[in-house]
Amino acid sequence: MTMKDMLGRSGVVSREEALKVLDGHLVIPALPIEDLSISNALGRVLAQEIVSPSDQPAFDRSTMDGYAVRSADTFGAAESRPAMLTVAGDIPMGVMPSRGIGKGEAMKIATGGALPKGADAVVMFEQTQPVDDNSIEVVKAVAPEENVSKVGEDMQKGVAVFAKGHVIRPQDMAALAGMGITRVPAFGKPRAAIISTGNEIVPADTVPGSGQIRDSNSYHLEGLISLAGGIAVKKGILPDDYDRLRKALEEALSDCHIILFTGGSSVGTADFTARVINDLGPPGVLVHGVSLKPGKPLIIGAVRGKGPGALIPVFGLPGHQAAVSICFEQFVKPVLMRFTGAVPDPALEGVSLYRTVKAKLARSIASSPGREDHVRVILEKRDDGLWARPVFGASGLISTLVKAVGTVVVPVNTIGIEAGEDVEVRLF
């Protein structure tokens, strides 16, 4: 639904509409492929399918400490009628047994040890009792393959283990190492330009003068971009000057996949962001204003890049910290993640990708119909469970973000949430 703001201007759209418009203008580039050591592959996106080069495990192995046996020799065994077996020796770790076992024999084996020829099960120590140095009694029967990991049970030779587009996790690094794969092809990371704007902005290592503030947004965005799988490219701090902003945008188009202006989205005489985006040709500004709090002044645009068919998304983010955080999570992060080449699990379609916890609201939240409010909260652990306490304050206060652990979303056309109601907290 297109809306009007407090000044009667039209063009403000819902979050869903803005995402739809953005999606309709996205052109996902083919990023270069990098050959990475698995030690450097955490969080990276596989550029091709990974197939197991061998069976894992490569031999039948024990999953328990005990005795390797022929399961048939234990059938019917019980405490009142144990099965007597001869201990034929110990199986050393790290080598294949030098002999097999015959009828009525057992061999001592540790977890991970290789089963001798003839054995098809492992009986745990707890289910045996010694008779003498050379024999044991088994007091509980074991079934074939009980306490045994068979050849290829973990991974089979020639079978795909990871699909193209899979994001490498710590357990995946272990699996790759177990297969003897120490290097993987991964998509390069998308580059996101950060252009800080505003006559009042000075570098973080500078003592601000009267009316000036340090540049904190670029560091905030740098962290958010990194967590989303991208590379932050800081283009410096620019005054509210049309020519310099245009030059910065043109330069960023040559080496970045996505461009973020921060501080130049509010309506006013110093707002050149929308003009610069539009003047570089169609499609230009797609959205200028979203029914979102904080984050209403957001600009979403698209500009032709240097390559054939390249279309670079450009965002004009509000200058306030909380608004930057919300706008990034809602609009920029999904784009960056698509640029990484990551393929979502189809089973999770429609499932929120946010880490969430359930809590009760400690204090009522008021909201205006027609906008989606994202309210920062802290969590309190009480005897009756978790409670979410709103952290109220202007969207420009970074301390509210530091204190908060997440947000509670008040949906569009809702006048608020009463204290004591159950809420879902989206964790940062």
Tell me how crowded residue 385 is: count the other CB atoms within 10 A of its CB: 11
Domain endpoint, select from 95, 122, 149? 149
Q: Which tokens hold the place of 394?
A: 């202007």
Query: Does residue 158 fall inside a structural domain?
Result: yes
DSSP states along 344-370: --GGGTTS--S-EEEEEESS-EE--TT
Query: Does residue 212 fall inside a structural domain?
Result: yes
Same domain, 240 and 130: no
Task: Please report the pLDDT score of residue 398 as a whole number.
Answer: 83
Query: Does residue 348 fall inside a structural domain?
Result: no
Same domain, 211 and 194: yes
pLDDT digits (tens, 9 = 90+) for 74-103: 999 999 999 999 999 999 999 999 999 999
Structural domain of 86: 61-149
**Residues with Cβ within 8 Å of residue 301, at least 6 apart in sequence:** 274, 277, 278, 283, 284, 285, 286, 287, 313, 314, 315, 316
pLDDT tens for each residue of the chain, 428 residues long: 344 333 333 479 999 999 999 999 999 988 999 999 999 999 999 999 999 999 999 999 999 999 999 999 999 999 999 999 999 999 999 999 999 999 999 999 999 999 999 999 999 999 999 999 899 999 999 999 999 999 999 999 999 999 999 999 999 999 999 999 999 999 999 999 999 998 889 999 999 999 899 999 999 999 999 999 999 999 999 988 899 999 999 999 999 999 999 975 545 434 688 999 999 989 999 999 999 999 999 999 999 987 666 899 999 998 888 899 999 999 999 999 999 999 988 777 766 667 899 999 999 999 888 889 999 999 999 999 999 999 988 777 788 889 999 999 999 888 899 999 999 999 98
Measured CA to CA, the distance from residue 93 to residue 41 in angstroms comes to 31
Dihedral angle computed from the Cα positions of residues 176, 177, 183 and 188, in that order, rounded to the nearest 10 degrees: 50
Tell which residue, 219, 220, 218, 222, has the closest CA to residue 197: 218
Task: Please report the pLDDT score of residue 353 as a whole number.
Answer: 67
Give the phi and the psi of residue 94 in degrees, each rounded to 5: 90, 0
| CATH number for the domain that contains residue 403 | 2.40.340.10
Query: Does residue 177 fall inside a structural domain?
Result: yes
- Burial (CB count <10 Å: 0-12, 13-18, 19+), residue 45: buried
Could you tell me which residues are beta bridge partners of residue 111? Answer: none
Query: Does residue 349 fall inside a structural domain?
Result: no
Same domain, 324 and 254: yes
Which amino acid is residue 134, in one-letter code?
Answer: N
Task: Please report the pLDDT score of residue 67 as a whole number.
Answer: 98
Same domain, 173 and 249: no
Measured CA to CA, the distance from residue 363 to residue 109 in angstroms comes to 61
372 SS3 class: strand
Same domain, 333 and 207: yes
Measured CA to CA, the distance from residue 333 to residue 349 in angstroms comes to 17
Give the phi and the psi of residue 124 in degrees, each rounded to 5: -70, 150
| CATH number for the domain that contains residue 273 | 3.40.980.10
Same domain, 208 and 110: no
Same domain, 211 and 298: yes
First to last CA, the chain: 29
Task: Please report the pLDDT score of residue 351 as a whole number.
Answer: 64
Task: Please report the pLDDT score of residue 33 as a whole number.
Answer: 97
State CA 375 to chain mean position distance.
23
Q: Based on the structure, what is the number of domains in the chain?
A: 4
Angle at 400 between CA 396 and CA 402, to 5 degrees: 115
| CATH number for the domain that contains residue 133 | 2.170.190.11
| CATH number for the domain that contains residue 180 | 3.90.105.10
* Residue 345 vs residues 24, 267, 349, 351, 388: alpha-carbon distances, Å: 22, 40, 7, 10, 30
**Residues with Cβ within 8 Å of residue 261, at least 6 apart in sequence:** 195, 197, 245, 273, 299, 314, 315, 316, 317
Query: Does residue 350 fall inside a structural domain?
Result: no
Query: Does residue 143 fall inside a structural domain?
Result: yes
Biggest alpha carbon–alpha carbon distance for the chain: 95
pLDDT digits (tens, 9 = 90+) for 15-65: 999 999 999 999 998 899 999 999 999 999 999 999 999 999 999 999 999
Same domain, 251 and 285: yes
Query: Does residue 248 fall inside a structural domain?
Result: yes
Same domain, 139 and 44: no
Pair 312, 302: CB distance under 8 Å: yes
Measured CA to CA, the distance from residue 74 to residue 138 in angstroms comes to 7
Measured CA to CA, the distance from residue 335 to residue 317 in angstroms comes to 15
pLDDT digits (tens, 9 = 90+) for 117-163: 999 999 999 999 999 989 999 999 999 999 999 999 999 999 999 99
Tell me how crowded residue 107 is: count the other CB atoms within 10 A of its CB: 24
Same domain, 203 and 223: yes
Same domain, 222 and 278: yes
Same domain, 122 and 226: no
